[in-house]
């Protein structure tokens, strides 16, 4: 399966989707100018992945900021992971947030309440 890798910069998040390595992650600031166009390859990749997923799927969200348009996309992405879990697959979402960022912590808690997948909250100390 093709690897998707976007280097994050500015308002574009880093994305790494590598089935063989078992790495699925989104990092950084997520405010792409055209979210529908930007995230389309990610959704297409997930559709293909769902046909033959790994024994355990772990998706790491390591975002420091995202806008309203991206929050809707995150919900849709999490729903795809929920569908995978509903089909009997082992799915874990890990929501990483800076330990001093209550907004990102609350956002993770909100998604955890809305989506029925195993959800792990991981706080970290931001580097200066």
Reply yes or no on whether the pLDDT at 81 is more than 70. Answer: yes
- Residue range 43-72: average pLDDT? 96
Range of the domain at 85: 4-124
Tell me the pTM. 0.93
**Which pLDDT score is estimated for 128?**
59
Percent of the chain beyond pLDDT 90?
94
What torsion, rounded to 10 degrees, do the Cα atoms 38, 39, 42, 43 define? -140
Element containing residue 28 per DSSP (H, E): strand 23-30
**Which pLDDT score is estimated for 82?**
98
- Residue range 88-105: average pLDDT? 96
CATH number at residue 86: 3.30.750
Q: Name the 3-class secondary structure at 67.
A: coil
Reply yes or no on whether the pLDDT at 126 is more than 90. Answer: no
**Which pLDDT score is estimated for 96?**
97
pLDDT tens-digit series, residues 30-53 = 999 998 899 999 999 999 999 999
Q: Name the 3-class secondary structure at 21.
A: coil
**Residue 92 falls in which region: left (phi positive, over 0), alpha (psi -120 to 50) or beta:** beta
Distance between CA atoms of residues 51 and 33, nearest Å: 30
**Which pLDDT score is estimated for 106?**
97
What lies within 8 Å, CB to CB, of 7 at 6+ separation is 14
Mean of the per-residue pLDDT values of the chain = 95
Q: Domain total for the chain?
A: 1
According to DSSP H, which parts of the chain are helical?
Answer: 35-51, 68-86, 102-114
């Amino acid at each position: 399966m093709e690897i998707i890798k976007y280097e994050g910069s500015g308002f574009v998040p880093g994305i790494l989707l590598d089935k063989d390595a078992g790495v699925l992650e989104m990092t950084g600031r997520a405010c792409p100018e055209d979210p529908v166009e930007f995230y389309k390859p990610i959704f297409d990749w997930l559709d293909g992945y769902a046909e033959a997923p790994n024994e355990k799927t772990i998706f790491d969200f390591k975002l420091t900021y995202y806008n309203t348009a991206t929050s809707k996309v995150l919900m849709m992405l999490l729903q795809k992971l929920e569908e995978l879990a509903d089909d009997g697959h082992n799915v874990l979402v890990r929501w990483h947030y800076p330990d001093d960022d209550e907004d990102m912590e609350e956002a993770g808690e909100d998604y955890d309440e809305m989506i029925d997948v195993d959800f792990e909250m991981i706080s970290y100390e931001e580097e200066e």
